[in-house]
Structure formats: C-alpha cells, structure tokens
C-alpha cells in the first residue's frame, strides 16, 4: 500500500452528530458524494485535466440504491444542487459514473475497501493507535469531516 501510486480523497460523515445538529439532515451518502466530487474536481484542476472525461467508479449496492446514487450524482455534476455556500463548476470535466459489482475485483474498489475503515476509525477515535491510517495518510490529498 505504501508504494502503490494513488491519491486518496475522503469524506467522513458522523451520522450521530448530523442528526443532532440538523432537524432535517441531508442523506449522509449524498453529502459524502458531494464532498468527494468537489474535491475530485479540485484535484483534476490542479492536474490540468480540464476538458477531459473522468470515470467515477461506484460499487453496486442494489437497483434502488444505484438509481438513487445516479440521480444524486447527475444532479451534482449538472449543478442542480444548491446546498452549501461554495458553488463548484463541474462543467470543466465530463464526469461519467461507472457501477461495478464487487465480484469484478476492481482495484479501485479494493483500495476503497482497504482505506475506508482506517480513515473512519481515525476520525471517530483519534486517540486509538491506527497503523493502517498512518500509511494511508501519506496518500490523502483532500479530506472532509462533517459536521
């Protein structure tokens, strides 16, 4: 993992704090998607990738869940979501969602599986020793913890 060439963008949504803080909170999955897509856009701009097509991979979770994620993804990249104070122009790139089954053994999904838990544990229990996070942290470019 230490030598693997990848950049990690993370979003951790504390569901308990979210419902404590907001009377009618947005879906934590939609929030995480928005935050990660925003940071992915920033990274691609830093890498001078404007005008390129970017495939964003998602793990299939079921027909209804995938359709919901597709609607939200489309709304975000078409700038139909008015939440948040920063408005991002997603038209700099063409975002294409790709849904993959776990059985396809996608390297991207495997990396996501290996990194998600150590990142979440680091955020939720920062005092706990976390050697996996120590390695992952060197790969992190952008991260967001909410709320």
For the entire predicted model, the pTM comes to 0.91
Encode pLDDT of 72-96 as tens digits: 999 999 988 766 777 889 999 999 9
pLDDT at 56 over 90: yes
Q: Establish if 39 belongs to a structural domain.
A: yes
Q: Establish if 4 belongs to a structural domain.
A: no
Distance of CA 58 to the CA centre of its chain: 10
Q: Establish if 71 belongs to a structural domain.
A: yes
**Residue 58, domain extent:** 27-146
Q: Establish if 12 belongs to a structural domain.
A: no
Encode pLDDT of 57-77 as tens digits: 999 999 999 999 999 999 999
- What pLDDT was estimated at residue 70? 97
- Of all helices (H) and strands (E), which one includes residue 87? none
Q: Establish if 49 belongs to a structural domain.
A: yes
The CA distance from 27 to 125, in Å, is 23
The CA distance from 140 to 142, in Å, is 6
| Cα Dmax for the chain | 44
Q: Establish if 99 belongs to a structural domain.
A: yes
Q: Establish if 123 belongs to a structural domain.
A: yes
DSSP state of 101: -
**What domain count does the chain have?**
1
Q: Establish if 13 belongs to a structural domain.
A: no
């Amino acid at each position: 993992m230490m030598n693997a060439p990848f950049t990690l963008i993370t979003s951790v949504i504390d569901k308990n704090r979210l419902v404590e803080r907001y009377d009618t909170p947005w879906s934590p999955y939609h929030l995480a998607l928005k935050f990660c897509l925003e940071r992915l856009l920033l990274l691609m701009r830093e890498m001078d990738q404007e005008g390129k097509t970017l495939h964003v991979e998602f793990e299939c979770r079921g027909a209804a869940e995938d359709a919901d994620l597709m609607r939200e993804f489309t709304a975000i990249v078409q700038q139909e979501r008015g939440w948040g104070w920063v408005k991002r122009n997603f038209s700099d790139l063409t975002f294409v969602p790709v849904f993959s089954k776990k059985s396809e053994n996608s390297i991207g999904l495997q990396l996501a599986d290996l990194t998600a838990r150590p990142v979440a544990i680091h955020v939720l229990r920062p005092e706990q020793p976390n050697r996996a996070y120590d390695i992952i942290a060197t790969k992190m470019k952008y991260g967001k913890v909410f709320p």
